Amino acid sequence: MSQLNRKGVSIMVGYVLLISIAVALATAVFFYLKLYLPDDKQDCYEDIYLVIDQVSCVKDSGGTFSTVYINFSNKGLFSVDGAFIKIGDFDRILRQTLNDPETGLMSNCNNNASLRPGAMFCGSYRYNSAPVGKQEISVQPLIWIKNEPVICPESIVSKDILCT
């Protein structure tokens, strides 16, 4: 009988060990690199299109604030879940947001929180200014995708108004 001790781990155990090490290393590298991979970015749909039908701005008698009346319609192919309705001086991009965009678009003209294609929204808002010069009102739509609000930078509509 040979004195050589041929005991050791079996070939199967050897393979299992090697594969386990490879998998552990691959997992570590994957989680390390995952940090640098961009997420699945939620983008707004392309065919979202709002049209401002009517807008007016009426100053109060005291000249301290104004009331803005706005009607807009969804002329696109998808429902719009919210919108940033903003107003400011015509020659500046600084805007005051008139509404709470995340509360939806239910109004006297629209019974749903979302504005479906073809539906119209109408609302009136207090504007904490009684401006003299030309103003610009803009509406930027917002939709919810996977429980996250996503705003649509390509679908902003705006209109010039004078507060009277």
Partner 1 sequence: MIKRGVSPVIATVLLIMIVVVLAGIVFIWARGFLSESAVKGGKSVETSCADVNFEVQLIFNAEECNGNAAIDINNIGNIPIYGVQVLRYDSSSGSIDNVALLDQPFDGGTVTMGESSFACIGISVSSGDTFRIIPKLLAEKGERKIAYTCPEENGATVAYD
Chain residues that interact with partner 1, rule: CB under 8 A? 3-9, 11, 13-14, 17-18, 21, 25, 35-39, 41-42, 84, 86, 88, 92-95, 97, 101, 140, 142, 149-151, 153, 156
Q: Report the chain's C-alpha Rg in angstroms.
A: 29
- Structure tokens that stand for 9 in this block: 């781990």
Shortest Cβ distance from residue 79 to partner 1 (Å)?
Answer: 18
Residues in Cβ contact with 88 at an 8 Å cutoff, skipping those fewer than 6 apart: 94, 95, 96, 135, 136
Q: C-beta of 2: minimal distance to partner 1 in Å?
A: 9
**Please, which residue, 102 or 108, has the CB nearer to partner 1?**
102
Which residue number, 62 or 153, has a Cβ lying nearer to partner 1? 153
Minimum CB distance to partner 1, residue 106 (Å): 19
Which residues does residue 82 pair with via DSSP β-bridges, in sequence order? 142
Least distance in angstroms from the C-beta of 17 to partner 1: 5
Q: Give the H/E segment covering residue 68.
A: strand 66-74
Alpha-carbon span 17 to 148, nearest angstrom: 43
